[in-house]
Amino acid sequence: MHRACSRSFLGLAAALAVLAGCAPTAMGPMVMRLGPGDPSQRLGQIGVRTGPRLSAPLAGSRPNLAEGERFRGDDASFSTQQWGMAFDAAVTWPLTERLHLHTGLQGEFFLPLPIPGYGLYAGASYYVGSERLGLAPAVAMRGASDFGIDSRGGPGNMFGAEASCAFTFQPEKDVSLGVVPFFAWHTLGSSGASDTSVYYGGVLAARFNWGQLLEKAELSGGFGRVKMGNGASWNVPIMGVRGGR
């Protein structure tokens, strides 16, 4: 009896994954170094950020798709076929006072589990300036996939690199403000087709202390643009919220 129930549950979970899964979201900027940071302590963060599903034009050009599944570009910037939310778990590791390593894991925003798009990213930043004012150029690489599942905006996989530079200001202790422009390049695959894309834009970000539970709360928002090698392009609203300590 218990075995039968277990098989039924696994079958239902697999069906839900296929029906409701999402292609991976390209969160950006991957690295946001808001201020010099603590050279003696790593920072862990978890939250939700948004970005484009870069595989959408490839997946949305297939024949026999329903109208709501086709790529619509600027006519539907918030369409979940081409724009998504992803869980973001990140850790910043200080190597020296100025040089920090950044690592992260993403999973698509589908409750109760992030199904099926997952990704990893890693990069480094270097801070130049004083405790009050400075800039932090950064580079990062990422890879993500939905493992070939026919999902929203997919199936799709991506691999790419990003350059960014945070211009930061600390008006008071434990408060950091920043402007973070970025530029990313990706190679993409979907249903046997492949293409390349550039994704660029910028965000405004703020990080501040918020009680004992979340020593570092972070809010970000901005705008991006995707341009594909095949000529497709669309606007991307960027929003994010993370907590850390």
C-alpha–C-alpha distance, residues 240 and 238, integer Å: 7
Residues 6+ apart with CB under 8 A from 230: 57, 58, 195
pLDDT exceeds 90 at position 60: no
Q: What is the mean pLDDT of residues 192-199?
A: 94
Tens digit of pLDDT for each residue in 138-158?
A: 999 999 999 888 888 888 999
Provide the mean pLDDT of the chain. Answer: 87
In this structure, are residues 18 and 12 in contact, taking their beta carbons and an 8 Å threshold? no
> What pLDDT was estimated at residue 17?
40
C-alpha–C-alpha distance, residues 39 and 18, integer Å: 44
Give residue 177's pLDDT band: very low, low, confident or very high (50, 70, 90).
very high
Spell out a b/e string for 87-113, using b for 16 or more CB atoms within 10 Å of the CB, else e.
Answer: bbebebebeeebebebebbbbbbbeee
In CATH, what is the architecture of 22-244? Answer: Beta Barrel (2.40)
Residues 6+ apart with CB under 8 A from 91: 42, 43, 44, 45, 102, 103, 104
**Pairwise pLDDT comparison (4 vs 71), residue with the higher score:** 71
> What pLDDT was estimated at residue 220?
97
C-alpha–C-alpha distance, residues 181 and 166, integer Å: 7
- The DSSP H or E segment spanning 224 is strand 214-228
| pTM, full prediction | 0.86
In this structure, are residues 51 and 240 in contact, taking their beta carbons and an 8 Å threshold? no
- The DSSP H or E segment spanning 217 is strand 214-228
- Structural domain boundaries of the chain? 22-244
Extract the tokens encoding 228.
């594909």
In this structure, are residues 58 and 188 in contact, taking their beta carbons and an 8 Å threshold? yes
C-alpha–C-alpha distance, residues 194 and 201, integer Å: 23
Phi, psi of 58 (to 5 degrees): -70, -50
Give residue 67's pLDDT band: very low, low, confident or very high (50, 70, 90).
low
Q: What is the mean pLDDT of residues 44-60?
A: 92
